[in-house]
Structure 1
């Protein structure tokens, strides 16, 4: 059955070019596609109890992390998701991850996912990287971009607000964590709003 609306973002937009590297406005951080050599850092990141709790997943081995890195490239080719590794420009130190998940090109929608390594927290990494990712996503045509986080995750709330994502509302009992159901804040950026 035909759809009567034209896709907000044309299919093939992402597969027609390599995944870009994105600088932050201050030039101190870079968001780049993941490489296989990043797998050990990804594996180590998921040893952090806070990261595992908020993301409700594990990364049991370097092999599993390598498979995850390979999937990030497959997801780009499928135009399903885009993942970036956040690094510091001065020394290339790994800092975290930013992602557009659940990309819907028809409606121009994506959800943000991110984490920051424990040693990089409290340095403004997440809001700066989220701003850079958002600027790029809006430029390529995404209409609505969401950040969702547990109402108990106050640092994520601060990140969203600092990056210009106002709170839209609360989805009650909508995400299952290891300790049960969590209410989720929804922060939204809308193109031209």
Structure 2
């Protein structure tokens, strides 16, 4: 059934070009590389990342596939992931984990390795990716969802200007059961 609304973004803004690097002052967001394998394995062995992302990696080929999958998602225009680089090393990840070009909307996820925590790494990366997603990609709305029990993630979203819009009850299943999720969002033009 055809939509009566014109698409917010026409197909092609991602697949038609190379995934860019995004500068965020002293941080750099760059596409994932096969050489980032060890950092990905370290991340998904971290109990905090496992708790909030409800994932683990136990085999080397899982990290290789995780990295390769970001390239495929960019080409399919369904997602885009970046390694957050600080001081020449992977400090975390940030992604447009879900992209909907028809509605001009995306959902962001992020994590930070233990050694990079406490330095506003996630908030700075989120601010930079938001600027690119609104300015270069042309999105209209970006959302952050996190467990209501994940207070650090709430602080990151708020620090990057994402307003808390509400709570989605029993929205996500984690290893310890169902979690209510905070929904934060920004729309183009928000300050």
Distance 2:29 2:44 in 1: 19
Cα deviation code 1:129-162 (max 9, x no counterpart): 0000000011121111100111100000000000
Runs of 4+ in 1 over 4 A off after TM superposition: none
Cα distance in structure 2, aligned partners of 1:9 and 1:42: 32
Matched with 1:20 is 20
Report the CA distance between 1:2 and its aligned residue.
Answer: 2.2
Give, in whole Å, the separation in 2 of the partners of 1:8 and 1:92.
36
**What does residue 62 of structure 1 align with?**
60
TM-score, normalisation: structure 1: 0.96
Which whole-Å deviations, capped at 9, do the CAs of 1:7-48 have from their partners, x for residues lacking one?
Answer: 111101111110000011xx2000000000101110111110
Identify which of 29, 32, 52 aligns with 1:31. Answer: 29
TM-score using structure 2 length: 0.97
User: What is the match of residue 131 of structure 1?
Assistant: 127
Q: Structure 2: which 5+ residue stretches go unaligned?
A: none
Pick aligned residue for 1:97 from 86, 93, 105: 93
Distance 2:91 2:176 in 1: 27
Match for residue 2 of structure 1? 2
1:153 has 2:150 as partner = yes
Number of residues of Structure 1 aligned to a counterpart in Structure 2: 189
Q: What is residue 162 of structure 2 aligned with on the other side?
A: 165
Once the two structures are superposed, what CA deviation does each residue of 1:98-156 show, in whole Å capped at 9, x if it has no partner?
00012100001110111000110001100000000000011121111100111100000
> Residue 41 of structure 1 corresponds to which residue in structure 2?
39
Q: Does residue 1:50 correspond to 2:48, yes or no?
A: yes
Counterpart of 1:9 in 2: which secondary structure? coil
- The aligned counterpart of 1:116 is 112
